[in-house]
Amino acid sequence: MSRRKFARPAPDVRRGVPFTIATGAAELRDEPDGTTFLWVNDVPSSPLHPDPEVLDFEYMRHLSAAVAAWSPPARMLALHVGAAACTFPRHLAHRYPDSGHIAVDIDATLPELVRTWWDLPRSPRLRIREQDGLAALESRRDRSLDLVVRDAFAGDTTPAHLATPEWWGHARRALRPGGLVLANVGTRPGAVSPDAAAARAAFGAAVAIGEHAVLRGKRRGNVVLAAVRPADDAAAGDDAGAGTATGLDVDALRRYASSAPLPTGVDPNWRG
């Protein structure tokens, strides 16, 4: 069976030549395997692989595995905080064709550019706009989202106001009961991320996925933190406690981790 042919993204954009965006400078760089990478302020930001099934960043594969372990509703509505080139929204829209996606980014230029670069779903399936990641959640109605994905960085660090109890509290409020929040957490040895404590305070439980050495704080890297709003919120109301169930098939996540290219673990007790 022949493999589907995909066009290389942004064929008219010169590679390796920085261009100005609202938050600094960006450039596109090609790899021999056909992937194009978006770099923002000298940090790799998004892989633009022609095939939407392919996720070149390890943490994006963790995000995708977590969504699968959650068993999303067919017509889920997702908010993506940190749009960049919309690689992950594009992947989910391809994998779950009836899903809808809103992608926000603090940069005013990128949302305009990425539409011209490659085959993103059109609005209303994927809406892209300039907006701060906290403001995007604050403005959502209660119980109006099924999935929240946070993948926002300033350089290689999550903006502080997106890793606070306030942000996690708004994520819980905006999710429907049974809804999922995923956060890409940048970690480094000797540093303590506030995300794990804030997620557990809001949701009662959270599961971390990452390389073993990164989870143990021995090496710098990315950890995906996943939490589910308890389904019994529907009966108990918004003032109910956060609950203790993860709402994820942790065994499925562990099976995924055991076959991942790099040594990967799943830790329901990760403290950051």
Least confident of 28-37, 41-50, 149-158, 232-241: 232-241
Instruction: Assign residue 90 the CATH number of its domain.
Output: 3.40.50.150
Domain presence at residue 28: no
> Distance (Å, rounded) from C-alpha 86 to C-alpha 139?
21
Domain presence at residue 227: yes
Domain presence at residue 20: no
Q: pLDDT class for 157, splitting at 50, 70, 90?
A: confident
Residue range(s) defining the domain that contains residue 176: 53-267
> Distance (Å, rounded) from C-alpha 231 to C-alpha 177?
4
Domain presence at residue 14: no
Calculate the alpha carbon distances from 204 to 32, 62, 171, 261 in Å. Answer: 44, 21, 13, 31
| Mean model confidence pLDDT for the chain | 91
Domain presence at residue 249: yes
Q: What is the pLDDT of residue 240?
A: 37
> Distance (Å, rounded) from C-alpha 219 to C-alpha 8?
34
- What integer is the mean pLDDT of 134-154? 96
Domain presence at residue 22: no
Q: What is the pLDDT of residue 3?
A: 47
Q: What is the pLDDT of residue 255?
A: 97
pTM: 0.92
Domain presence at residue 19: no
Q: What is the pLDDT of residues 58-84, one digit of tens each?
A: 999 999 999 999 989 989 999 999 999
Domain presence at residue 202: yes
What's the total number of domains in the chain? 1
Q: What is the pLDDT of residue 243?
A: 36
Q: What is the pLDDT of residue 1?
A: 34
